[in-house]
Amino acid sequence: RLTRLHDALYARRQRGQKSLAVLLDPDNLDEAAGQRILDLTAAHAVDYFFVGGSLVTTQHQAALIRLLKSASEVPVVLFPSNSVHIDSQADAILLLSLISGRNPDFLIGQHVVAAPILRASTLEILPTGYMLVDTGRQTTASYMSGTTPLPYDKPGIAACTAMAGEQLGLRLMYLDGGSGAMYPVAPAMIRAVRQAVDVPIIVGGGINTAEKAHAALAAGADVIVVGNQIEKDPEFLGEAARVVHTFNSVLKAALN
């Protein structure tokens, strides 16, 4: 079983290098918007495409992944909301364990259904501790999963949750304020999780300005995920990529 993407993520994390993931929700993108984002990707460094959404109609997702794979070298990572959303055309899958919640279906149930499908596929499996964080209003993810998100201002609970996830063998942590969150996950929470675990940390939800992207990276995020804002304004992809690039250039200069 491949571990290529995980190994690269982990090596980047150890070097302190940051990455940008662009989240594409097949149900929110028409072909023209998908093409515009692909064009921008040619000019700005995008490290990963995450593909997924809460209410994906399978044929939209399949068409989008086909387009991405035919037109770009950027790895395509499934970000599924349930076991129906597995597609072998992608490179990898975030196998999410919703550790902020207490719904057994998203801790093990969906995984049992997915296991034989994943085994038969060539997808790289990225076991991920998924933590939804309360960012001011109920998000689709928290409603659809029937779980209570982590309290916004309790970094200690997030740190212990991540720690438990790492001890259980999860190899990435994803702190998510939910798509279109009113405000992103607090830097204090990202810092607490950073101090608690060694695995790469992905942060997303409500990152819609360069300042917010910078704050998440400065607090310890290894990968930032941007979705909604790029759907609204594809040019934001360039802004987010510049923030990540600046971080990595400063790091490179410091190492030389």
Annotated binding site for Mg(2+): 25, 54
Residues 19-38 close enough to bind ligand 1GP by CB under 6 A: 23
Is 155 or 178 the residue whose CB approaches ligand 1GP more closely? 178
Count of residues engaged in binding ligand 1GP, rule: CB under 6 A: 15
When asked if residue 176 is in the footprint of ligand 1GP (CB under 6 A), the reply is yes
Extended beta strands in the chain, E state: 19-24, 48-51, 76-78, 92-97, 124-132, 172-176, 201-204, 223-226
Q: How far is the CB of 123 from ligand 1GP (least distance, A)?
A: 19
What b-and-e string marks burial along 116-136, b requiring 16 or more CB atoms within 10 Å of the CB?
Answer: eebeebebbbbbbbbbbbbbe
- Rule CB under 6 A: choose which of 158, 181, 223, 237 binds ligand 1GP: 181
Nearest to 122 by CA among 92, 149, 83: 92
Within 8 A by CB and 6+ apart from 89, the residues are 62, 65, 66, 69, 76
- Rule CB under 6 A: choose which of 179, 185, 196, 199 binds ligand 1GP: 179
- Rule CB under 6 A: choose which of 16, 180, 220, 238 binds ligand 1GP: 180
Please classify residue 183 by burial: count the beta carbons closer than 10 Å to its beta carbon, then call 0-12 exposed, 13-18 middle and 19+ buried: middle
Instruction: State phi, psi for 168 to the nearest 5 degrees.
Output: -80, -5
Is 180 or 238 the residue whose CB approaches ligand 1GP more closely? 180
Q: How far is the CB of 159 from ligand 1GP (least distance, A)?
A: 20
Amino acid identity of 140?
T
When asked if residue 129 is in the footprint of ligand 1GP (CB under 6 A), the reply is no
Contact 84, 40 (CB under 8 A): no
CA 216 – CA 203 distance, rounded (Å) = 7
When asked if residue 53 is in the footprint of ligand 1GP (CB under 6 A), the reply is no
CA 76 – CA 136 distance, rounded (Å) = 30
Is 114 or 207 the residue whose CB approaches ligand 1GP more closely? 207
- Rule CB under 6 A: choose which of 34, 75, 200, 204 binds ligand 1GP: 204
Residues 215-244 close enough to bind ligand 1GP by CB under 6 A: 225-229
Is 162 or 225 the residue whose CB approaches ligand 1GP more closely? 225
Instruction: List contacts with ligand 1GP (CB under 6 A).
Output: 23, 176, 178-181, 204-207, 225-229
